[in-house]
Amino acid sequence: MKTLKPVLFWIAVVLVVFLFIFPILWIFVTAFKLRADILSVSMGKLLFFTPSLESFEHVFTYTTIVRELANSAIISVSATVLVMLFALPAAYSFARWNTGGGHLLFVTLSTRMFPGFLAAMAYFFVYKDIALMDTHLGLMLFFYYFNISFATFLLYGFFREIAPELEQAAMIDGYSRFDVLRKVVIPLILPGVAITAVFVLVFNWNEFLFSVLFTKINARTVAVGLAMFWGSIEIQWGPMCAAASMAVLPTLAAAWFMQRYIVRGLTFGAVKG
Amino acid sequence: MVTNVAEAEAGIPKNKGFWDVLLSEKYFRWTLLIPLLVTLAVFMLYPMFFAIYYSFHTFAPGKPTFFVGLENFRYVLHDTRVFWPALFAMFKILVGCLTVELVLGMSVALLLNREFKGQNVVRGLCLLPLLISPLVVSLVWNYLLQYDYGLVNQVLNGMIHLPKINWWGKNMAIISIILLTSWQWTPFAIFVLLAGLRSLPRDAFEAATVDGSTSWYTFRRLTLPMLSPLILIIIMLRTMWLMRIFDPLYATTRGGAGTETLDWVIFRVVFMYFDLGQGSALSIISLFITIILSFIVFRLLMKSLGVIK
């Protein structure tokens, strides 16, 4: 019995890990398969196949993947900077003074429950009129709107962990409110700021709804590019997986960075440890 | 005179400029919120008024817009062929995903809630689905669940000799969507609950062990109540996000096979038919349902946190 328990535990752990990473691994496996092997119905071809770079060649020859990746990077990063710049002061205000008595925080959070189409619909024709359609700036503004509520809510949890006494002490030392925020509070929650920024960055990188509605060629992001492998005749699984394997690399890097902070980050300050 | 007194009390020196007012003790909290408030006005208030206005009008590009009163709402609510099935599909996805995610999430969180070798690596790997783009996830699952050459059916049929399942068929497609969405979001539940489990006070559990409680009893009477704020947070956030589900539909059924949700109807009506009137009415209904649902959960959350009675 004593030796059986750890064995069962490890079997369960391996099963869970397998369940969660297998489909992701399959993207990479499929990316290196020939078209015939991808559509093959024989079991043998699932795992034992001759690796090929055919799909990657197709992607680099017939699509604008490099430009799409660059577009995604430019838009995601600039939107993340904007979100952090504006979410930090707002979250601090909510955490320190409970500004608006909780109602305003709820309204802020509720931007995430607005149908994305509500904003998209209202701005579709505006964007056409002022020539923001299919531009980096236009999409960036939507990314910013899409993330500010979540970033504010996450940062709110981090700010709540800072004792007000600390700030009062700094103010007695002659710091202004603004200096307190900049020189005392933000350095203290820097890990929280970092994890929020990475979260926002990942959400931006993965965003699809606004991207597909508001970009065509010039500012097309990689997510929209991926969806285009679904042609009118068939879905090109191989090239799609090849492109996807490149598109998920930055998020895998983000995961590597995040795993240290994640357990702390997701409590939202709701459970005091 | 009155304003001067008020300003003096607020700590604003006389004859000071605009910046001093913004940075004064009384108004600083609002100054910090200005960018957020502007954002809300631009991206929330304006689209909302836009939608309210057009929900009372007919609209087609190039044709005059005219007032029709509640006609759009009447049409939508009487639409038993599109609206009600879409609403029903949305609730199916909501309930299905929340159930799978919470049950599976809690089980895995309990499993991982101990010290073991390589725990950080295991947790890191379990986090991955959450970070991969929902569109990519859905496209991959679309491939894995194909009838002829999909891996899942090949394993089912070739290795365990079970009949193949038509995953994207009429009644099955919505279950496939629930499965792939839960696959992606269970890690979210796992990590919120795991963080909660780690921060629970030890002594209560030691006392329970000394008293000889069974582990199921301890879980139900001790762990579950203490984690209830986190469970409510998961339900609240996931409800909001699940009502907006879009990428999994776009990458798999495109609204076919009985998987058309309310938001997909809006997408179709607005961006394929450019019928802003009906689209606006639908978005307002969709928004209304989401607000009611999340407000109920929000109240429960505030109660369990002790913020309101």
Arithmetic mean of pLDDT, B263-286: 87
Q: Do the Cβ atoms of A140 and B69 come closer than 8 Å?
A: no
Nearest-CB residue to B149 (from A39, A202, A209): A39
Rounded-to-integer distance, Cα B287 and Cα B130, Å = 25
User: Are the C-beta atoms of B177 and B246 separated by less than 8 Å?
Assistant: no
Tell me the domain boundaries of chain B: 1-32, 73-304
B124-154 b/e (C-beta count within 10 Å ≥ 16 → b): bbbbbbbbbbbbbbbbbbbbbbbeebbbbbb
Superfamily of domain B73-304: MetI-like (1.10.3720.10)
What's the pLDDT at B309? 59
Res B172 pLDDT > 80: yes
Has residue B237 got a pLDDT over 80? yes
pLDDT over 50 at A272, yes or no? no
**B86-89 LR contacts (CB < 8 Å, sep 24+):** B86/B260, B86/B261, B86/B262, B86/B264, B86/B265, B87/B262, B87/B289, B89/B174, B89/B258, B89/B259, B89/B260, B89/B261
* Touching B: A residues 199-218, CB under 8 Å: 202, 205-206, 208-209, 212-213
**Which candidate, A106, A107, A135, places its Cα nearest to that of A123?**
A135
| Stretch (H or E) spanning B69 | none
Q: What is the mean pLDDT of residues B127-143?
A: 88
Angle of CA points A223, A227, A229, to nearest 5° = 125
Residue B14 has pLDDT above 70, yes or no: no
For B116, half-sphere exposure in the C-beta direction (CA atoms, 13 angstrom radius) is 13
pLDDT value of residue B2: 46
Other CB atoms closer than 10 Å to residue B64's CB: what's the count?
A: 8
Could B33 and A93 be called an inter-chain contact, meaning their C-beta atoms sit closer than 8 Å? Answer: yes
> Which residue is closest to A204 within chain B, CA to CA?
B133
A3 Cα to chain B: minimum distance (Å):
15
User: What single-letter amino acid sits at B247?
Assistant: D
pLDDT in tens, A134-175: 889 989 999 999 889 889 988 888 888 887 888 888 888 888
Confidence of residue B4 (pLDDT cuts 50, 70, 90): low
A272 contacts on B by Cβ (under 8 Å): 199
Structure tokens at B77: 């609510």
Is residue B167 packed enough to be buried (19+ CB in 10 Å), middle (13-18) or exposed (0-12)? buried
- Residue A30, domain member (yes or no): no
Q: What's the pLDDT at A71?
A: 92
- For residue A177 the two structure tokens come to 């409110």
For residue B16, give how far its alpha carbon lies from the nearest alpha carbon of chain A (Å). Answer: 16
- Chain segment A68-126, per-residue pLDDT in tens: 999 999 999 999 999 999 999 888 888 888 877 778 887 887 777 788 888 888 888 88
Share of chain A above pLDDT 70, in %: 92
Quick one: which of B122, B133, B129 has its CA closest to A263?
B122
Between CA A135 and CA A215 the distance in angstroms is 7
Please report whether residue A44 resides in a domain.
Answer: no
How far apart, in Å, are the Cα atoms of B120 and each of A153, B123, B126, B246, B251? Answer: 26, 5, 10, 32, 32
- Sign of the alpha-carbon dihedral angle for B267, B272, B276, B282: negative
Over range A208-233, report the average pLDDT.
Answer: 86
- Mean of pLDDT values over B84-92: 91
Q: Which residues of B touch A107 (CB under 8 A)?
A: 40, 44
Tell me, what's the pLDDT at B106? Answer: 92
- Evaluate if residue A264 carries a pLDDT over 70: no
Chain B residues touching A23 at Cβ < 8 A: 129, 137, 140-141, 144, 183
* Number of residues assigned to chain A: 273
| Closest chain A C-alpha to B309 CA, distance in angstroms | 14
CB-based contacts of B257: which residues, under 8 Å, 6+ apart? B168, B169, B170, B172, B173, B174
Classify residue B162 by its DSSP letter.
Answer: P
- DSSP of chain A, one letter per residue? -TTHHHHHHHHHHHHHHHHHHHHHHHHHHHHTS-HHHHT--STHHHH------HHHHHHHHHS-HHHHHHHHHHHHHHHHHHHHHHHHHHHHHHHHH-GGGGHHHHHHHHGGGS-HHHHHHHHHHHHHHTT-TT-HHHHHHHHHHHHHHHHHHHHHHHHTTS-HHHHHHHHHTT--HHHIIIIIIHHHTHHHHHHHHHHHHHHHHH--HHHHHH-SSTT--HHHHHHTTB-SS-B-HHHHHHHHHHHTHHHHHHHHHHTTTHHHHTTTT-S--
As a three-state string, the secondary structure of A43-73 is: CHHHHCCCCCCHHHHHHHHHCCHHHHHHHHH
Indicate the residue of A23, A123, A270 with minimum beta-carbon distance to B141. A23
Asked if residue A240 is part of any domain, the answer here is: yes
Amino acid making up residue A182: R
Q: Is residue A272 part of a domain?
A: no
**pLDDT of amino acid B15:** 61
A10 belongs to a structural domain:
no
ipTM score of the complex? 0.84
Domain count, chain A: 1
Residue A214 lies in a domain: yes
Cβ-Cβ contacts under 8 Å for A89 (sequence gap 6 or more): A181, B31, B32, B33, B35
CB B101 within 8 A of CB B181: no
Distance from the Cα of A175 to chain B's closest Cα (Å) equals 13
Please determine, for residue B84, whether its predicted confidence score (pLDDT) is greater than 80.
Answer: yes
Among residues 56-75 of chain A, which lie with CB inside 8 Å of chain B?
A: none
What is the average pLDDT across B116-143? 85
The mean of the pLDDT values for chain B is: 83
In the numeric block, which tokens belong to residue A61? 């020859």
pLDDT tens across B32-68, in order?
888 888 888 888 888 888 888 888 888 776 777 778 8
B154 close to A43: Cβ distance less than 8 angstroms: yes
Instruction: Tell me: pLDDT of B99 over 90.
Output: yes
d(CA A257, CA A238): 29
Q: CA-to-CA distance for B100 and B94, rounded, in angstroms?
A: 10
As a whole number, mean pLDDT of residues A45-64 equals 80
Say yes or no to pLDDT of B153 above 50: yes
> Computed from CA positions of residues B46, B266, B180, B240, in that sequence, does the dihedral angle turn out positive or negative?
positive
Looking at residue B1, its pLDDT comes to: 43
B100: contact with A, CB 8 A cutoff: no
For residue A266, pLDDT over 60 is answered with no
Is pLDDT above 60 for A268? Answer: no
* pLDDT at A129 > cutoff 90: no
Show the domain range for A88.
Answer: 63-265
Angle at CA of residue B182, ends B286 and B157, nearest 5°: 125
- Quick: pLDDT tens for B103-124: 999 999 888 888 888 777 888 8
The predicted-structure confidence for B180-220, as pLDDT tens digits, reads as follows: 999 999 998 998 888 888 877 777 777 777 777 778 888 88
Mutation target vs B (from A20, A112, A158, A260; most B CBs, 10 A cutoff) = A20
Eight-state DSSP code of residue B295: H
Among A97, A120, A47, A203, CA closest to B274:
A120
Nearest residue to A33 (alpha-carbon basis) of A226, A222, A241: A241
Tokens of B45: 């208030």
Inter-residue contact B272 to B57 (CB < 8 Å):
no
Identity of the amino acid at B270: V
Contact A140, A78 (CB under 8 A): yes
The CATH number of the domain holding residue A96 is 1.10.3720.10
**Mean pLDDT calculated for residue range B142-154:** 83
For residues B75-90, average pLDDT: 86
